[in-house]
Amino acid sequence: MRGKLSAFLICLAISAFLWISHRLNQTYFYSINVPVKFVNLPANKALINELPDHLRFDIKTNGLKLFFVLLRRPFNEITIDFNKLKSDNKQQAYSISSGNIKLSETTKLNVDVKRISPDTLFFVSKTGITKNVAVKAIISANPEKGYVLSKPVISPAFITINGDSISVNGIDSISTAPLYLNQVNANYSGQLALLRPSENVFLNINEVNISIKADKLLEKQIEVPLTALGIAPSTVAKLFPSKVKITYSAARNDFSEISSDDFKAVVNYSKHHNNKMMVELSTVPTQAKILSIEPTEVEFLLFKTK
C-alpha cells in the first residue's frame, strides 16, 4: 500500500505540473488599468471631457507573462506628451495610441497591446482672450516641534488661462486644491490640482508641483556688547553689565551664515527709568528667531567728560 500511495502522489505531482505548464503556455486576453499623466496639453484648445487618470490596456499574452505582469500591481504612472501624439487636420482629436506608449516600462515585460481605452481625446477651439495669472497655493503646513518650514515653492508659478473677456478680466490668480500638513519633519514634494473658477475659463495645465523644505532648528547663545544711545556729547555712560547674552534659534542650514556681528544691542537713555535702561535689539538676522535676552535691563552711571 505504501508503494502504491507513493506512485499515486508522484503521478499526481506530474499531472499537476503538466496542467500548470499547459495553462501557462495558453494565450490570454486581459485588461489592466494603468495610472497616466498628460503633459504639454494644447494651450489654445479646451478638452471636451475630463482627462482620464487611468488608461485601460487590453493585452494579449501567455499565462506565464500575465502572471508576472499582475505581480507588478499597482502599476507605475505613465507620462503621455501631447507633443508626440498625432492629431487630425483641425487638431480637434488626438490619438493616444499614436504616442508609442511603452507599456513595458511599467509592466517590465513585452506584451501585445490590442486596444487602449480611451484611445482618442477630443478638443474644441477656445474662444475669447488669453491671460497669464499667478498660481495661489492653498496650503496649511505646521512643523513638528524643533523644525522650521520654508516658504512653499510653486512650479510653475504662473499659468495661462483662456475664456470670454467677462470671465477672464476679473481673475488675477488661480487657486490650488487645499493641502493640509501637520507635524512635518521632512521635505515635502507633491502635486496639487488647479481649481477652475468657472466653466467658461480654461487652464493650460491641470496641476502644479509643490515643494516645502523642512529644516531642524538649532539653538545658540552669544554675547553682544551694548551701545548707549541718547547720551549727551559731554557725558559718558557706564553700563552694568556692558554685554548681554542673546539666545536664538535658526534653521540648521542657516547657522553657518549667522555670526555675533550680525546682532546689535542698544539701550536708549531717553527711555530710562529708576536708573535702568531697557535692552533692545536694533539689528537681528532675518534667519534668526530670538528666544531670550539676558538681562533685559541694565543699570548705568553717567560721567561728565568736561
199: confidence class by pLDDT, cuts 50, 70, 90: confident
Mean pLDDT score, 131-148:
90
Which grid cell is 70?
499582475
- The pTM (predicted TM-score) of the whole model is 0.52
Mean pLDDT score, 229-244:
87
Mean pLDDT score, 179-204:
88
Q: Euclidean distance between the first and final Cα of the chain, in Å?
A: 127
Strand 158-163 relative to strand 129-136: parallel, antiparallel, unpaired?
antiparallel
pLDDT of residue 112: 86
Query: Residue 125 in contact with residue 91, Cβ under 8 Å?
Result: no
pLDDT of residue 163: 79
Mean pLDDT score, 96-114:
79
pLDDT of residue 278: 92
Is cis: bond before 225, omega within 30 of 0? no
265 has pLDDT over 80: yes
23: confidence class by pLDDT, cuts 50, 70, 90: low
16: confidence class by pLDDT, cuts 50, 70, 90: low
pLDDT of residue 250: 87
Q: Which residue has the higher pLDDT, 16 or 107?
A: 107
pLDDT of residue 292: 92
273 has pLDDT over 90: no
161 has pLDDT over 60: yes
**Residue range 52-84, pLDDT digits in tens:** 888 898 988 888 788 888 888 888 888 888 888
135 has pLDDT over 90: yes
Amino acid, res. 287: Q
Residue ranges of domains in the chain, CATH in brackets: 24-125 (2.170.120), 129-212 (2.170.120.40), 217-304 (2.170.120.30)
Q: Taking all residues of the chain, what is their mean pLDDT, rounded to a whole number?
A: 84
pLDDT of residue 19: 64
Continuous segment of H or E residues that includes residue 10: helix 2-25
pLDDT of residue 246: 93
Three-state DSSP at 143 gives strand
Continuous segment of H or E residues that includes residue 201: strand 201-203
Could you tell me what percent of the chain has a pLDDT over 90?
A: 26
Phi, psi values for residue 269, rounded to 5°: -65, -30
